[in-house]
Amino acid sequence: MKRILALGLSAALAGCATGTPHHGPLIAAPANCIDIHFPIYFEEGSASVTPQADRLIVDAQRRSTGCTVTRIDVLGLADAPGGPAANLELSQRRAMAVSDALGHHGFQQALVQQGAAGDIGALAPSGAARPLRRRANVTIHLAPPAH
């Protein structure tokens, strides 16, 4: 009987020593549902989403997994050169292009709120042009999932 007990104990301990991986965490970590902010930059005079911008959106989709997306804000901007009407129209096209790309990558377009600032704020009080205005600012508002 002692021999059988010793063999059983040896087998149990040997199973622990093999380092057999478990199949997932015992306790699941909660999703990190913090709002995501990022800019999408454009070429001068363009409203085409670049491959780099697509990668940012894919990363945002990955980071929002496990969370509830409550709203997405997209604000299109434009540089100072050009007329105000043309810059407003360009910033609107940029906001629409980003909204479309968000929808293409799995975000619900019904949650997207678009805005366009045109070239408002593109010049500093000194009259100098502010750099890097060829963009759309994106904020993805996240909340923990409802249980």
Q: Residue 20: its pLDDT value, please?
A: 52
44, part of any domain = yes
9, part of any domain = no
5, part of any domain = no
Q: Residue 12: its pLDDT value, please?
A: 46
The stretch 111-128 carries a mean pLDDT of: 83
CATH of the domain at 61: 3.30.1330.60
- Quote the pTM value: 0.74
| Domain span including residue 63 | 31-143
Closest listed residue to residue 105, CA positions, set 139, 68, 60, 66: 60
14, part of any domain = no
70, part of any domain = yes
The stretch 113-140 carries a mean pLDDT of: 84
Q: Structurally, how many domains does the chain consist of? A: 1
25, part of any domain = no
Mean pLDDT of the chain: 83
The stretch 29-57 carries a mean pLDDT of: 91
